[in-house]
Chain A
Amino acid sequence: DIVMTQSPDSLAVSLGERATIDCKSSQSVLYSSNNKNYLAWYQQKPRQPPKLLIYWASTRESGVPDRFSGSGSGTDFTLTISSLQAEDVAVYYCQQYYSTLPTFGPGTKVDIK
């Protein structure tokens, strides 16, 4: 199984400031034949299901604000919220869909400082 880890476990950022979450996979999720990273990010607000934010490591889902961006390749990935808004308080999960058994990171909780 591909093991996903995230850091930090939680962070508190002032409104309007940048939030950065890291995600690492235990093996590369870059598929060489199409040069795509099979890595997604989800946002989960309290009492709601996860919501797809980013896929292919850096492609925003339709309707996702452009303050959310994804970067990285291979085994190391980052989700950045460029200017934190109150509605961004949530837990963020990365997921690899490279292998036939998709796996998720443990989540990073983002709060307002």
Chain B
Amino acid sequence: QVQLQESGPGLVKPSETLSLTCTVSGGSISSYYWNWIRQFPGKGLEWIGHVYYSGSTSYNPSLKSRVTISVDTSKNQISLRLSSVTAADTAVYYCARASNWNDLLLEYWGQGTLVTVSS
């Protein structure tokens, strides 16, 4: 069964760049869409964007100017970069693999990693 594991700094300073990695095991990155979603402290969920294994991306328009999602098939990893962070970016960040049925239907999720933005 495919497993996803997010990793990265748990604390980021305001105005800096948040960088996270999602490592995929038990399956290949190929032929799937890989999504990043975040969950705010109040529990609301927000889709950040996704990347196809080929490298093509789609982003939430509200974050598009600050987000970069990329894929490294040789390492079976997906990366997220979010620039110019503020306290409003404090959240649990999840990576998720999309279903075979639809690229925005989220079938497998990582455990998530909490990122706090604070000086």
Contacts and interface: CB of A to CB of B under 8 A. Distances in A.
Nearest to A97: B104
Given A50-B106, A55-B101, A97-B105, A106 B60 contact: no
A109 to B, nearest CB: 9
B105 A101 contact: no
Interface in A67-104: 91, 93, 95, 97, 100-104
Nearest to B101: A55
Interface string A7-49: 0000000000000000000000000000000101010000011
Interface stretch (B15-23, B41-49, B72-80): B41-49
Given A100-B58, A101-B60, A104-B45, A40 B105 contact: yes
Nearest to B96: A49
Contact of A101 (B47, B106, B109): B47
Contacts of B60: 101
Interface residues of A, number: 22
B34 to A, nearest CB: 14
A49 B101 CA distance: 21
Interface of A: 38, 40, 42, 48-52, 55-56, 61, 91, 93, 95, 97, 100-104, 106-107
Contact of B109 (A50, A55, A102, A106): A50
A49 B99 contact: no
B43 A91 contact: yes
B54 interface: no
Contacts of A38: 102
A106 B44 contact: yes
B53 to A, nearest CB: 19
Contacts of A55: 99, 101-102, 105
Given A52-B99, A55-B102, 14 more contacts: A40-B105, A40-B106, A42-B106, A49-B111, A50-B109, A55-B99, A56-B101, A95-B45, A95-B106, A101-B47, A104-B44, A104-B45, A104-B46, A106-B44
A75 to B, nearest CB: 18
